């Protein structure tokens, strides 16, 4: 890997990778195919803006993820469940993304009981990761939302959720 790795360039095929040449080619070509979103589910929500806070009220009661989400426009923080997620970056996404070209913002949160430089004990690892992106497509102007949540307790996956879609 150290001998052949160059950022943005695929490693040359080797039978020592443990995959067939056809599998290797399939993985390499995956990024060349444009991603298309398809509607899986639709929910009715009310967007509520009070002062500098923006949150959602679920009108049907079935889907609670957005009801636990609150944007604080003044502090640029997001509250998701019990976590306060700090602002991460501004995004200018190119046309090849799942949403097409869009502009928006990202918030990221990672909490773990083991540090970056610690000896990792997988059986004792407890962590929570949240990534939220909110933006607007170009040129359509559709609002988009992407939430990715992952939780591990004592080395066992306990939560894995990804939500992406448009807000109308």
pLDDT tops 80 at residue 74: yes
d(CA 2, CA 22): 24
Q: How far apart are CA 160 and CA 127, in angstroms?
A: 12
The verdict on whether omega for the bond into residue 139 sits within 30 degrees of 0, i.e. cis, is yes
Helix (H) or strand (E) holding 119: none
Q: How is the beta sheet containing 87-93 ordered, strand by strand?
A: 87-93, 102-112, 127-137, 143-153, 156-167
Percent of all residues in the chain with a pLDDT value above 70, rounded to a whole number = 85
Contact 108, 126 (CB under 8 A): no
Query: CB-based contacts of 144: which residues, under 8 Å, 6+ apart?
Result: 99, 102, 104, 133, 134, 135, 136, 137, 164, 165, 166, 167
Q: Which pLDDT tens digit goes with each residue over 21-52?
A: 888 888 777 666 666 667 777 777 778 888 88
Q: What is the pLDDT of residue 54?
A: 85
Mean pLDDT across the chain: 81
């Amino acid at each position: 890997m150290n001998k052949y790795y160059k950022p943005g360039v695929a490693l040359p095929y080797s039978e020592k990778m443990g995959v067939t040449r056809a599998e290797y080619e399939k993985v390499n070509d995956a990024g060349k195919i444009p991603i298309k979103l398809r509607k899986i589910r639709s929910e009715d929500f009310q967007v509520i803006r009070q002062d500098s806070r923006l949150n959602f009220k679920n009108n049907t009661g079935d889907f609670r993820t957005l009801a636990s989400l609150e944007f604080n426009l003044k502090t640029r923080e997001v509250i998701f469940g019990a976590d306060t997620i700090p602002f991460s970056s501004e995004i200018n996404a190119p046309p090849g993304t799942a949403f097409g070209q869009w502009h928006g913002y990202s918030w990221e949160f990672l909490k773990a009981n083991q540090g970056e430089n610690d000896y990792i004990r997988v059986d004792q690892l407890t962590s929570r990761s949240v990534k939220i992106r909110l933006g607007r497509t170009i040129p359509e102007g559709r609002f988009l939302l992407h939430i990715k949540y992952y939780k591990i307790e004592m080395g066992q996956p306990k939560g894995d959720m990804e939500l992406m879609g448009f807000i109308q």
